[in-house]
Amino acid sequence: MNKLGMILFSIAAVSCISQKEYTSPAGYDLNKPETFDMPAILDEISGITFDGSSDTLYAIQDESGTVFHFKPGNAELSATKFGKKGDYEDLSISNGNIVVLRSDGSLFAFPLSETNLNEAVTVKEWKKAVPAGEYEALYADPVSNDLYVLCKQCEADKKTNQVSGYILQWSGGELVLKSPFALDGTTIEKKKSKKSTLKPSALARNPRTGEWYILSSVNKSLLVADKDWKIKEAHALRPSLFPQPEGITFDKAGNLFISNEKDQEAYGTVLKFALKQ
């Protein structure tokens, strides 16, 4: 190929990439967020959640046993220490407690009411509360208080098109395993020529539709599954907006929030996608 041909080929390739279509689930535009830059302490922001009754966002970062809470857009940041250093990946609020997931499947819980106290919090720990594996995704049902945990990498899921999940419930103040479930990737696999491993990094449920929203940082995608965990949609995420998406949640108004770790960007971020009226 001569020099002119190489130039024309390069221009065509760049044009093709720039014209890649980035779709969005109904009700949201994943290409037009309101962006909140995080302070340096949250460069490694790995999970976010609301308590369901306010506009206060709770966040975890994956290097410190500390829960942070703040109102998006407000520079004031509060911190609650609950444990030593560790690979903490997600959090949710259940049964009046903040529950934190560590990557080995261990869970930590302390009362939500203690986040504003200037004293040590009362922490309960369940070591490896789910079968052996690597975990990053946690969701708490606001009605039943059941906790849903999705595996990122489990032995049972190798060479399959499913992701193992587990439901835990409260019993006498303790978290106990209730039942397993599986995220079914059959539908999405049929659309691809090669099998791609699903590696969930965060989980939330759309309060309007009841659909499951599964974030995959490795795959740079947002999956939407029905109430029976069958994947209906897959949306590629624009790398410039989602350098390392690790957290997902909805506020009480149905707005969607996705957080990114710093990666190569100047700051960790929380992106708000307003519900279309």
Write down the mean pLDDT value for the chain. 88
pLDDT digits (tens, 9 = 90+) for 71-82: 999 989 999 999
Q: What is the pLDDT of residue 245?
A: 95
254: Cβ contacts below 8 Å, ≥ 6 apart? 27, 206, 207, 208, 275
Q: What is the pLDDT of residue 274?
A: 97
CA distance 189 to 275: 29
Q: How would residue 9 be classed by pLDDT, with cut points 50, 70 and 90?
A: very low
pLDDT at 277 over 70: yes
Q: How many CB atoms lie within 10 A of CB 125?
A: 14
CA distance 65 to 100: 9
CA distance 37 to 250: 18
Q: What is the pLDDT of residue 58?
A: 97
The percentage of the chain sitting over the pLDDT mark of 90, rounded to a whole number, equals: 75
Q: What is the pLDDT of residue 131?
A: 94
pLDDT digits (tens, 9 = 90+) for 99-109: 999 999 999 99
The pTM assigned to this predicted structure is 0.89
Q: 213 pairs with which residues across the strands?
A: 204, 224
Q: What is the pLDDT of residue 19?
A: 43
pLDDT at 6 over 70: no
CA distance 179 to 165: 9
Instruction: Name all domains of the chain by residue range, CATH numbers in brackets.
Output: 23-273 (2.120.10.30)
Phi, psi angle pair for 9, to nearest 5°:
-65, -45
Q: 76-105: b or e for each residue (b if 16 or more CB lie within 10 Å)? A: eeeebebbeebebbbbbbbbebbbbbbbbb
Q: How would residue 193 be classed by pLDDT, with cut points 50, 70 and 90?
A: very low
Q: How many CB atoms lie within 10 A of CB 209?
A: 15
| Segment 27-38 mean pLDDT | 96
The percentage of the chain sitting over the pLDDT mark of 70, rounded to a whole number, equals: 88
Q: How many CB atoms lie within 10 A of CB 122?
A: 11
Weakest mean pLDDT among 24-33, 83-92, 154-163, 220-229: 154-163
